[in-house]
Amino acid sequence: MGKGGVGKTVTCAAIARRAARAGKRVLLAEVRAPRRLPSLFGLRAEQDGPLQLAPGIQWINFTPQAALETYAMRLLKLRAVYRAVFEQRAVRRFLRALPSLSELLMLGHLVHLIEEGPADLVVLDAPSTGPGALMLEVPQVIMRTVPEGPLRDGAEWIQRLLGDPARTTIHLVVLPEELPVSEAISLHHRLRDDLGLARGFVVANRCLPNPFPPGQHPAVDDEGSPMTEANAALIQAARSLRGRLNLQQVYLDRLQAGVDQAIIQLPEWNPGWNPGWNQGTFGTEAIEALADALQSAERGASWA
pLDDT in tens, 28-71: 999 988 888 998 888 888 888 899 999 999 999 988 777 776 66
Q: Does 84 have pLDDT greater than 80?
A: no
Q: Does 252 have pLDDT greater than 90?
A: yes
Which of residues 220 and 289 earns the better pLDDT score?
289
User: Looking at the domain assignment, is residue 276 inside a domain?
Assistant: yes
User: Looking at the domain assignment, is residue 266 inside a domain?
Assistant: yes
Question: Alpha carbon 113 to chain centroid distance?
Answer: 18
User: Looking at the domain assignment, is residue 1 inside a domain?
Assistant: no
Q: What is the DSSP letter of 84?
A: H
* pLDDT for the residue numbered 227: 63
* pLDDT for the residue numbered 140: 93
Q: Does 5 have pLDDT greater than 50?
A: yes
Domain region containing 119: 8-216+261-296
User: Looking at the domain assignment, is residue 281 inside a domain?
Assistant: yes
Query: Which pLDDT band holds residue 91 (cuts at 50, 70, 90)?
Result: low
User: Looking at the domain assignment, is residue 253 inside a domain?
Assistant: no
The CATH number of whichever domain residue 135 belongs to comes to 3.40.50.300
User: Looking at the domain assignment, is residue 237 inside a domain?
Assistant: no
Query: Angle at CA 10, nearest 5°, toward 206 and 170?
Result: 95
CB 16 within 8 A of CB 123: yes
CB 289 within 8 A of CB 300: no
Which range (6-20, 77-91, 97-111, 280-294) has the least confidence? Answer: 77-91
Q: Does 251 have pLDDT greater than 80?
A: yes
* pLDDT for the residue numbered 238: 80
Q: How far apart are CA 238 and CA 232, in angstroms?
A: 10
Q: How far apart are CA 114 and CA 33, in angstroms?
A: 20
- Report how far apart the first and last C-alpha atoms of the chain are (Å, whole number): 17
User: Looking at the domain assignment, is residue 109 inside a domain?
Assistant: yes
**204 phi and psi, to 5 degrees?**
-85, 105
Query: Which pLDDT band holds residue 220 (cuts at 50, 70, 90)?
Result: low
Q: Does 153 have pLDDT greater than 90?
A: no
Over range 75-94, report the average pLDDT: 53
Query: How many domains are contained in the chain?
Result: 1
User: Looking at the domain assignment, is residue 162 inside a domain?
Assistant: yes
CB 53 within 8 A of CB 43: yes
Query: Which pLDDT band holds residue 147 (cuts at 50, 70, 90)?
Result: confident
Q: Does 177 have pLDDT greater than 90?
A: yes
| pLDDT tens track for 189-199 | 999 999 999 99
